[in-house]
Every structure is written in structure tokens, then in C-alpha cells.
């Protein structure tokens, strides 16, 4: 179970690294007016160029870079969990939970991310659940010494 938890943290991480890299690539190759149309099923009219659109494009870049960073965290904590390092598991539960919680509140629940927005949170729940079950099955040092 512990190794399966590590795999799901790694999958969560890879999903977010790829998504973030795609966002960075879009920022570098598309006009600012197109970047706001790239998140989920919401069909926005093409906004007129201007300072607000430019700022929104840079916020999109910021979001993409944060995705890459959180994705890297997911991969590292997945490796640590696979190896039995529970500090990595609990770090993932806390920090990735914070990131996914914010994402759900800000983008998924209002409908901006669409059904595909649930993929990361579902992977989070699976990784967390498997890790908790594995931790409960692991003998504690006090029980092992008795």
C-alpha cells in the first residue's frame, strides 16, 4: 500500500508538471488574448488587448510555474513515500492538500476547470488514503518493542 501511495503521488506530480509546462509553453507562444481561453470549458470571447489582459496573462504564467513546482513536490514526495519515508508522505498530504483545496475552491467549484479539474484531487485522495492505510498497518516502534 505504501508503494502504491508513492505511485499516486508521483502520478499527481507528473500530471501537474506536464500541465504547468504546457501553460508556460502557451505563454511563450500565444498572444495574451488567447491565454485566458485555455483553462477548462468556459468559452470566453477574445478580450481586447490591454494592460488588464497582459496582467492576466502573467497571472496565467505564475499559475503554470506554480503547477510545475507543486508537481515536482509531488514527484519527490512520491519517491520518499515509496521508500518508506513518512515525512515525505505527510508533507504531501499537507502541502498538496492545500494546493488542491485552493484549486477546488477557486476554479473547480465555480465551473472554470470542468470535469477534468477533478483528476488531481482524485489522485490526491487515492494517494492519501493508501498512505494512511499503509501507515496504520505498519507496526509502531512501541508495539514492536513490547
Domain boundaries defined on the chain: 2-138
Statement: residue 51 has pLDDT above 60: yes
pLDDT band at 42 (very low <50, low <70, confident <90, very high): low
Residue 14 · residue 127 · CB < 8 Å: no
Q: What are the pLDDT digits (tens) for 78-106?
A: 999 999 999 999 999 999 999 999 999 99
pLDDT band at 146 (very low <50, low <70, confident <90, very high): low
Residue 73 · residue 16 · CB < 8 Å: no
pLDDT band at 72 (very low <50, low <70, confident <90, very high): very high
Statement: residue 61 has pLDDT above 80: yes
Q: Tell me the pLDDT of the chain averaged across its residues.
A: 87
pLDDT > 90 fraction of the chain, expressed in percent and rounded:
60
- Hey, CA dihedral for 8, 12, 18, 22, is it positive or negative? positive
pLDDT > 70 fraction of the chain, expressed in percent and rounded:
88
Q: How far apart are CA 6 and CA 13, in angstroms?
A: 10
Q: What are the pLDDT digits (tens) for 4-34?
A: 999 999 999 999 999 999 999 989 998 877 7
Residue 23 · residue 64 · CB < 8 Å: yes
Amino acid at each position: 500500500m505504501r508503494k502504491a501511495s508513492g505511485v499516486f503521488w508521483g502520478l499527481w506530480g507528473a500530471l501537474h508538471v506536464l500541465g504547468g509546462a504546457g501553460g508556460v509553453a502557451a505563454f511563450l507562444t500565444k498572444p495574451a488574448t488567447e491565454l485566458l481561453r485555455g483553462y477548462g470549458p468556459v468559452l470566453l470571447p477574445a478580450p481586447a488587448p490591454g494592460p488588464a489582459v497582459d496582467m492576466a496573462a502573467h497571472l496565467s504564467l505564475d499559475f503554470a510555474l506554480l503547477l510545475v513546482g507543486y508537481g515536482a513536490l509531488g514527484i519527490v514526495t512520491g519517491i520518499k513515500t515509496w521508500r518508506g519515508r513518512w515525512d515525505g508522505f505527510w508533507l504531501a498530504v499537507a502541502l498538496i492538500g492545500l494546493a488542491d483545496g485552493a484549486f477546488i475552491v477557486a476554479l473547480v467549484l465555480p465551473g472554470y476547470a470542468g470535469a477534468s479539474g477533478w483528476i488531481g484531487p482524485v489522485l490526491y485522495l487515492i494517494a492519501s488514503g493508501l498512505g494512511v492505510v499503509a501507515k496504520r498497518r505498519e507496526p509502531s516502534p512501541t508495539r514492536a518493542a513490547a
